[in-house]
Structure 1
Amino acid sequence: MAGTSSQAGTQLDVHRCRFVDYVPASITAIAVPPTPLPRVRSQSAPSNSAHKGATRFPPIAVGRGDGNIELYEWSGVGETAQASSQSWVLHKILYAPVPSKVDNLIWVLRDPNSLRPGQTPILDDLRLFSAGGGSELLEWNLESGTIARTLSSQGGSIWSVSANASSTLLALGCDDGSIRIVSIADGVLEHKRKFDRVKTRLLSLAWGPSRPPTPRKPVTGAADSDDEDDEDDEWTDSWIIAGCADSTIRKWDFTSGRVLDRMVVDRQRGERTLVWAVAVLGDGTMVSGDSLGYVRFWDAQTCTQMQSYRLHGADVLCLAVGPEGRSIYSAGVDQKICQFSRVQVASGNTTSSRWIHSSSQRYHVHDVRALATWPMFIPLPPSVSLPPTTGRIISPLLFSGGLDISLNIKPCMVPLEHGDTVKVHNPLKTNPATSFENSWQARRTFHVRGLVHVARTARLLMLLRDKSVSVWRLTRLQNGTVEPDEIGLRTMLEDPDAEQGGWNKVLDMQLNVLTNLCCGAISDDGQWLAAADMYETKLFRLQHKGENIKPRRVKNLTSELLPHVASGSEDEVSTGATAMAFSPDSSKLVLGTSLSSYTLVIDLANAHDDLDNIRVLRRFEHHRMRDVILQPVSQAPRQLNGVHTDAVAMDVDEPSSSEMKSDAIAATSYEAHIRRISLITFSPDGQWLATSDIDRRVHVYNMDSIQHQCTLPSFESPVVALAFDPARTHHLVIVLATNRIRVFDVEVRTFPPSARAVCERAAPQLAKLRETVVGATFTRARHEPGTPAPGLVLWAYDWFCQIKLDAEAPAPVPSKRKKRGRDGDVADEVAPALSEDKELLALGTAAQQQGPKGKPLVINTQYRPLLFLGFMGDGDMVVVERPYVDILASLPPAYSKHKYGAS
């Protein structure tokens, strides 16, 4: 490390690694949850306490080409519940069996009667189904992240899946030309009936408008009137249309299962046209997109073509209907997304509606495979009126994705029909505009957390793919450095093909796995490597022979782990893991098990010579606990029913109400409540271990005594990164999905006021960044007395910055805001002052650090897109980039049509 004082800027040798050949999977499906149908009679849904505090934005499911399904949740909370720069952030990944893919993805309501009409469902209210080109329909267990049930189509490959508006039936379009109706009401999954077969594949499906229940006069004195009302309040399905592979669209009657009509699309040079997408509007109008690039509108009564537009240069692969039913969006191979709007046209004394092409946008660079809108459109007949929207009006959103791997989100508000002028808010905070034509899209990149790991001492770099692991050795260059650039960074590995070398691949392993790999780790000394899928963890001892590495598998690991993960119930037993980490001295491996959410501490100290000499030191169950009861430490019992509480008491020093719940301790119920462990990290001295799960809970353990130390109060948004400060190894840094930072002292169980003030100064600038933090690390793993304290480095997909947590906290400045204290008194709220930039230093020169006043830190965007940012034991910074052009170069050529000079 090129050492200089903090006044002269921090200079670092940077290993800029672009040789990591990771190719993320493309997006093949996007699903947005439906909302309950309106109730014809005045019936109130039962209140659900789980919805208290929930946002109005639903979870989003994204299917990938490798079979994985990503679940996203809204990051905004409190004041940002209605708008957030980070919008949706990754909640969890459902890892797919090997091999598989996702072509169709469907959300349905678990119990529609438990929700109010128009209420946004949360994850517990939903069921998720998928199909991937085979003959099996999969239902996913959203808690464990595994497949709950499968159902054979009995008709060959499943080409299309669609759910009815009531969330009671699924329609499967099969390879044999028949529609299978599957019942999913009341939690079942079983075949119900089959429609008449046609001699072609059914590429796409859409349900017609549901018929509302017929109101009937109330009957007094009837004992069973409630049961009859429930039956009469059911919506009935009318018909289904299917886009076929023989240039036709067919319409089936739901009651009889017979074909009602057959609509024919154009052919070109005698070849069959494929109808890839169909949709139905509330008035019965049908919309289709085909392989000729046409978007066609069909009359509901006569099934004749009303209008057609050929705006796409190639296949139209997907359609989406706007939430209000007055806009249509089409996309496909030519990367363009077209918007169609319904307008009223006057002709004499009459007016009629007509569809026009209103806008086109091209912000994708490859095929667009999936479109979805929020709120999800439900085709309701014109006779059914929805309740008026109350409160703040939020712009609807359009989700799109395809071969260019990124999920794009764009506002798509259309003008109101009656010309009303209302203020509409953009929840993405991209720009004030909310129309599809004028708004800016937000982009959610592919998942990068946990893909790359480094062995600090051994100077090894590990890449985790779906089914394989690769390891490179980074060597120090003798003459490969250049002078420090304008931000104090000396790039060492600029060109992956440089003659002087600097890296070489030393290991490439193909693993035999049941699902795609979930997590991996490599020890700092380079002696151990571990990788896990959902069902098995594999541990390898790495033998270094010259420049090469030979792995030896620890074969008895599974048998050692099985007694500690078996729960005695009928639940599936698995030794897989969703998070893992080696201790700094490489003597321990900690696993967060996949299906049971145990934290297992494995001793490796005696296994260097004898690979069979490994044992589980301790099993912690804190991430399986359902409820957390908080009370003052002074009142905390030391025993519960005569059993020691295992040091779960926690003293919190005056936390603000916006940060967490009241101070306390945690006494928990021991009913199993599986929540996936997402993060595990050690302190640099190996004394402390911190773990976090997707329920925003953080637990800290003392590794000297192998005991639970404390439980942090639940945070207001998901935890995305954990790191211990090398200068104060008992200080734990927690980074949230909103890019806010918390620092917690695990020894005294308090939030240090000085660190809190520094973090609050950085909060406004970090909160404006669109990309959520992926990782947190420190510039050095060890802190030597008399040297400047290492700085905290936060990094995301396209930026990183440094924050010095040891900066002197500014003097508190009373603000005009008031808040009520816990004892009922109204006190002034102390707000941190924005003073000189010397407290928050980015990786840059003194001139930059003295930049514009009021700018507390400098965001560095020199390196992007980032797969990893970390530091070696000698202080060298490792930056792993995966240039977007390299990813695109690995894909099939994109559609391109020369407009000028074509022969």
Structure 2
Amino acid sequence: MATLHHQDSGADDHHASLAIHRVRFVNWSPSTVTALAVSPTFAGTTRGLLAIGRQNGNIELCTWVGPRAAQKSEFDDRAFQSDAAGWAVHTILPGQTNSKIEQLCFVNPPNNDDLTQQRKLRLFSISGGSIVTEHYIPLHLAKLGARRDADIDDDDSENNNAVAKPGTVSSLFGKKTASNLDPHYPGETRTLPSLAGAVWSMAPSATGRYLALGCEDGSVRIIDLENDRFEHLASTSGQDRKIVPRFGKAKGKVISLCWGPPVRSSKRAKTNNKPTTSGSDSDSDSSSDDSDSDSDDEEADQWQESFLVGGLALSTAVVWDASTGNISTKLSVQKNRTESTIVWSVATLPDGTIVTGDSTGRVTFFDPQTRIPIPEATFRAHAASSDVLALCVGPDGKTVYSAGVDQKVGEYTKLDTSNGRGRWIQIASRRLHAHDIRALALDPPYSPIDAAQAMATGRGSLTPSRLPVLISGGVDFNLVLTPASPPSAIVKAQKSSSIAAIPSATSKSKRTTLTKVEQEHASINPISSNPLTTFADTTQRRVPFVPTTSRSGLLGGGSVAALCPTKGWIVLRREQSIGIWDLGSQSDLLSISRAVEAGESSAQHPNWVKLLEMELKVDSNLVCVAISNNGQYLAVSDLYETKLFELKQRRRPQDGVEIEPKKIKSFGKAFGGESRTAPSASALRFSPDSTRLVVCSLTGAYVHVLELASAHNDETCKLLRSFGQHRRSPTTTTFPSGERQIAGRTPPNSTTDRTERSTSSIIHHAEISSDGAWLSTISSDLQHHIFNLDSLTYGRTLPSPWSLPSGVVFHPSTGASLCGVLTLIFASGAKVEFWNVESGRELSGSSHSGSDSSSNGQRKKEVNGASSALVGNLSSLKQNLQLRLASLRDFAVSALWIGADKSSGNLSDYTLLLWGATWICTARPITNNRDDDDVEMQDIIPTPKTLEWSIRTTAKYQPLLLVAQAQVESTEDQKPNPHLLVVERPYFELAKKLPAAFHRGARYGA
């Protein structure tokens, strides 16, 4: 379906009428959420790393996005305080062809061989086969989610480590040896077979040393993770550690697993595991340093694994003793008359209580001593015969959450009683999803070690350092965030007397500063405006299922759709295929636009047609796709190779048009090498004149500039220049908000132009200016470089942004004053920054630019050679945009400048459009004080500056896959008319293709 609306600016002649094409025929479908995991917690208020496993094999690594540290001093300024907080996609680990994710888990194992080495977070998954996979996550994320053991950066030691790691290392990126393997590229894995059939479940131990695998034959295998190992536990090692490598076989497959609470050991493992080789470790001074350099490892080594619980498919669950591997107890659950009960999920609590969720819809609590169901602690929280697929323990160890196929989440807590035994009750049940719930997770997650230490010291239950947030996902694609304060200690954002002082989300405050009540509430509940944060009373937030960034590829969670503006083609990237649609002929689009503009009713719709559906022979999910402006070339890349196709148009017998893709073989030869293949790319971008292609390589972070095949170069592709600026170590300085890169210019012929280092950084943004002169690239380590494509030289380095932008756009003007204006869009609060790439200055005269106060390396506000009026207008635009968009919960995705005449260098001739997954915002300059511009926009906020701005928002179009501007040329004056393209993907279109949801039906007497 494609409908057309008319939007009249009405301000003056500079702003032409704008036709909006509302497109819903693009048949993109997101992938089901199958697994969730949150990184182990550590001291502090920083939220953990969230991993989301998908049915298509992709793993999304999300970091918490909130107010940046540099804004703490400006916390009372409403323009710098945003309601948009949550987990945003930072990196996606692409899946292999025909792969899937069934379960995920983070592990933070100790490293006893080198106590000075910092811990790194490790991520494991199972996919329903006999293989368990370790996914190498980016190094800075691995350190972010790990427990802090030492302030030592081991980048160099890791790069120089030539010792082969156990397990099978995949060769995704060509020929690599153990000596030059950099294991932190997204998609790099190592695998290990279970040796016991298909793996149905896995569970990391409380100490982080072991990973238990529940297998098809009923056995449990133990994987050793200590000291960066990834191998089956040896029998001799198990004797020293009081754990066996293989547990006794149970009857039937082990469907679910969970370790029991750890127990204190009588002898520290540190003395047994201390290295005996000669060297620094043999000195008494080194021994003393080892004993007091890491108190966390010392504490962890005092604890050992006690038992393991496994859920079976025969109406039972079993308990293995960790030291012997024998089955010590069998737990019986209720079953139906005709079939056995499947124990889908198990969990354990600090006191040894065992919790099971089964296929009858029951949640059962078992006594830690007798191992029989606790009286009045078997709950029918879910519908009869509905599978309870997930259990999650609260951070206090006294709260349990359950979810299943009946779309409900139940909450259970333990109340104190006079006899001291306590009593379990169900206090809430909420329907948070529209289909099966497959996974649950909590931040901060439950830590068995911390809970055991609290019980040993008599502190009782743990108090979470931050508001617990329950994360749920399932078949309906959506991720739902719900505040979940422990019921035992109810937390309110405000006192009852001050709840009324909190403004509603729909009200627009006229004050420029936040009230004290609003400040306190924003710091307590980042999910919603509800002052109550208990699970039963709070308000949840549904995260959009569409991509929430517009980065250049899948690795950064970028958009799946793109537009060929001159042709009006929509390009869609799927897992292993590409689809291209044509909006319609130029004449049809113009006639319909003029009819709507004249106010005439037209039943005619653009005759959109599908031009191409191409299945690609790839070994992984597609990473990035780009199409040239003239529609002649299409570039695609997966984890292994980049391919370039020439798109030839042919006429059909019915006078239609179809596209025939032809692979350009000279493209791979241009890079040289033995394989004659182009390297895989993290970002692809064609020049505006469609004569050049920029390839940002995935392995090595090179920026390659190629000239496409033409008559003057013998119809072959030619490599013009390769830049290695992203491979060199950035010049940084430390600020309170973290490390920042210093801006500067390096002479083009300098010897440091090609200085290289081993790097795992990924180039997420590659944008070319409208005149084709400037190239802007931003990598995952926040290096921001500018290149001159006219002279094929390196231009300058801009200061590193405070976080990875979600969108980067150049101004479309070809005028000298605006063509070099670069707009950075950040996720939280729709923060925007304007930069001049030629001068390297930020175009902002506001005192609230978010830069650090230090004079050395701060973002300079002076604009040499730029108009002061331009600086004042952009500063006014920035301030008022952030003020208007502060109340939006969903992150900003990208932006675009809309204008009919691209040769104009006047800022008043352009409208800035920002958009998120569920909203669109326009900022239009006002020159004649008219306020009735957009019939679909509301809430005008004029800005009292040199150039006033009319800022309006709408939520009419959602959820959004793409917002772009198409150029439709008129046959009369040959002038392009701007058309706005809005691509939506409503949920009700996706729900038609989903399997039937669980429905119990009406109860008797209801």
Q: TM-score, normalised by structure 2?
A: 0.74
The equivalent residue for 1:521 is: 626
Question: Does 2:373 align with 1:305?
Answer: yes
Pairwise CA distance, 1:763: 1.0
Question: Does 2:95 align with 1:104?
Answer: no
Amino acid across the alignment from 2:883: P
Paired residues for 1:81-120 under 5 Å: 85-111=84-110
Amino acid across the alignment from 1:160: S
Question: Does 2:911 align with 1:794?
Answer: no
What SS is found at the alignment partner of 2:264? coil
Native 8 Å contact 1:841 1:857 kept in 2: no
The equivalent residue for 1:258 is: 326
Q: 1:421 to 1:406 in 2, by over 3 A?
A: closer
What SS is found at the alignment partner of 2:251? coil
The structure 2 residue matched to 1:78, chosen from 69, 76, 79, is 69
Range with greater deviation from structure 2 (441-450 or 870-879): 441-450
Paired residues for 1:5-20 under 5 Å: 5-6=10-11, 11-20=17-26
Residues 65-103 of structure 1 show CA distances to partners (whole Å, capped at 9, x for unaligned) of: 101000001112216789952311110100011111001
Gaps of 5+ in 2: 1-5, 76-81, 139-184, 234-244, 272-282, 496-522, 548-557, 652-656, 735-739, 846-871, 969-977
Pairwise CA distance, 1:225: 7.1
The equivalent residue for 2:726 is: 623
Structure 2 distance, partners of 1:599, 1:432, is: 49
What SS is found at the alignment partner of 2:455? coil
Structure 1 distance, partners of 2:711, 2:541, is: 49
Native 8 Å contact 2:732 2:741 kept in 1: no
Question: Does 2:625 align with 1:555?
Answer: no
Native 8 Å contact 2:562 2:570 kept in 1: yes
The equivalent residue for 2:399 is: 327
Question: Does 2:893 align with 1:893?
Answer: no
The equivalent residue for 2:258 is: 206
Structure 2 distance, partners of 1:228, 1:635, is: 43
Pairwise CA distance, 1:598: 1.4
Q: 1:803 to 1:621 in 2, by over 3 A?
A: farther
What SS is found at the alignment partner of 1:873? strand
Paired residues for 1:677-696 under 5 Å: 677-696=763-782
Q: 1:352 to 1:757 in 2, by over 3 A?
A: same
Structure 2 distance, partners of 1:376, 1:700, is: 42
Native 8 Å contact 2:823 2:832 kept in 1: yes
Native 8 Å contact 2:434 2:476 kept in 1: yes
What SS is found at the alignment partner of 1:857? strand
What SS is found at the alignment partner of 1:774? strand
Native 8 Å contact 1:93 1:145 kept in 2: yes
What SS is found at the alignment partner of 2:578? strand
Structure 1 distance, partners of 2:324, 2:10, is: 82
The structure 2 residue matched to 1:31, chosen from 34, 37, 41, is 37
What SS is found at the alignment partner of 1:719? coil
Structure 2 distance, partners of 1:115, 1:443, is: 44
Native 8 Å contact 1:628 1:669 kept in 2: no
Structure 2 distance, partners of 1:677, 1:800, is: 27
What SS is found at the alignment partner of 1:345? coil
Native 8 Å contact 1:774 1:796 kept in 2: yes
Paired residues for 1:273-288 under 5 Å: 273-288=341-356
Q: 1:189 to 1:374 in 2, by over 3 A?
A: same
Paired residues for 1:673-712 under 5 Å: 673-712=759-798
Q: 1:182 to 1:444 in 2, by over 3 A?
A: same
The structure 2 residue matched to 1:439, chosen from 529, 535, 538, is 538
Residues 477-496 of structure 1 show CA distances to partners (whole Å, capped at 9, x for unaligned) of: 476559769xx99999xxxx
Q: 1:561 to 1:274 in 2, by over 3 A?
A: farther
Residues 838-859 of structure 1 show CA distances to partners (whole Å, capped at 9, x for unaligned) of: 8x99855898646899996211
Native 8 Å contact 2:396 2:464 kept in 1: no
Q: 1:490 to 1:19 in 2, by over 3 A?
A: farther
The structure 2 residue matched to 1:579, chosen from 673, 678, 683, is 683
Structure 2 distance, partners of 1:470, 1:162, is: 40
Structure 2 distance, partners of 1:467, 1:32, is: 29
Native 8 Å contact 1:686 1:703 kept in 2: yes
Structure 2 distance, partners of 1:700, 1:623, is: 11
Pairwise CA distance, 1:698: 2.2
Residues 549-571 of structure 1 show CA distances to partners (whole Å, capped at 9, x for unaligned) of: 100011243343354999xxxxx
The equivalent residue for 1:126 is: 121
The structure 2 residue matched to 1:803, chosen from 906, 923, 928, is 923
The structure 1 residue matched to 2:232, chosen from 191, 196, 201, is 191
Native 8 Å contact 1:456 1:871 kept in 2: yes
Range with greater deviation from structure 2 (382-391 or 174-183): 382-391
Pairwise CA distance, 1:302: 1.2
Amino acid across the alignment from 2:57: G
The equivalent residue for 2:616 is: 511
Residues 481-527 of structure 1 show CA distances to partners (whole Å, capped at 9, x for unaligned) of: 59769xx99999xxxxx975520001000001111111101111110
The equivalent residue for 1:784 is: 903
| Identity across matched positions, percent | 33
What SS is found at the alignment partner of 1:758? helix
Native 8 Å contact 1:581 1:589 kept in 2: yes
Question: Does 2:778 align with 1:772?
Answer: no
Structure 2 distance, partners of 1:392, 1:239, is: 26
Structure 2 distance, partners of 1:525, 1:341, is: 62
Q: CA RMSD in A?
A: 3.9
Structure 1 distance, partners of 2:693, 2:458, is: 56
Q: TM-score, normalised by structure 1?
A: 0.82
Range with greater deviation from structure 2 (876-885 or 844-853): 844-853
The equivalent residue for 2:703 is: 599
Pairwise CA distance, 1:700: 1.6
Native 8 Å contact 2:341 2:360 kept in 1: yes
Gaps of 5+ in 1: 39-53, 493-497, 567-572, 647-667, 809-835
Structure 1 distance, partners of 2:458, 2:134, is: 31
Q: 1:507 to 1:422 in 2, by over 3 A?
A: closer
The structure 2 residue matched to 1:408, chosen from 480, 483, 490, is 480
The structure 1 residue matched to 2:804, chosen from 712, 718, 722, is 718
The equivalent residue for 2:582 is: 473
Q: 1:78 to 1:637 in 2, by over 3 A?
A: closer
Structure 2 distance, partners of 1:183, 1:376, is: 23
Residues 772-822 of structure 1 show CA distances to partners (whole Å, capped at 9, x for unaligned) of: 122222224851338852222111111111224x779xxxxxxxxxxxxxx
Paired residues for 1:294-443 under 5 Å: 294-306=362-374, 307-313=377-383, 314-346=386-418, 350-379=419-448, 380-381=451-452, 383-385=455-457, 394-416=466-488, 425-443=524-542
Pairwise CA distance, 1:30: 0.4
Amino acid across the alignment from 2:96: P
Native 8 Å contact 2:110 2:209 kept in 1: no
Residues 115-145 of structure 1 show CA distances to partners (whole Å, capped at 9, x for unaligned) of: 99xxxx99x8311111111111111121311
Native 8 Å contact 1:471 1:508 kept in 2: yes
Pairwise CA distance, 1:378: 2.0
Residues 715-735 of structure 1 show CA distances to partners (whole Å, capped at 9, x for unaligned) of: 222211011112311100011
Amino acid across the alignment from 1:191: H
Residues 724-750 of structure 1 show CA distances to partners (whole Å, capped at 9, x for unaligned) of: 112311100011122200000111111
Q: Which one has a larger percent helix, Structure 1 or Structure 2?
A: 2
Native 8 Å contact 1:719 1:735 kept in 2: yes
What SS is found at the alignment partner of 2:806? strand
Residues 375-424 of structure 1 show CA distances to partners (whole Å, capped at 9, x for unaligned) of: 11123436334989999952111110001111111110024469999988
Amino acid across the alignment from 2:332: V
The equivalent residue for 2:833 is: 742
Amino acid across the alignment from 2:54: R
Native 8 Å contact 1:462 1:470 kept in 2: yes
Amino acid across the alignment from 1:27: V
Pairwise CA distance, 1:697: 3.0
Structure 2 distance, partners of 1:902, 1:794, is: 53
The equivalent residue for 1:56 is: 46
Pairwise CA distance, 1:10: 6.3
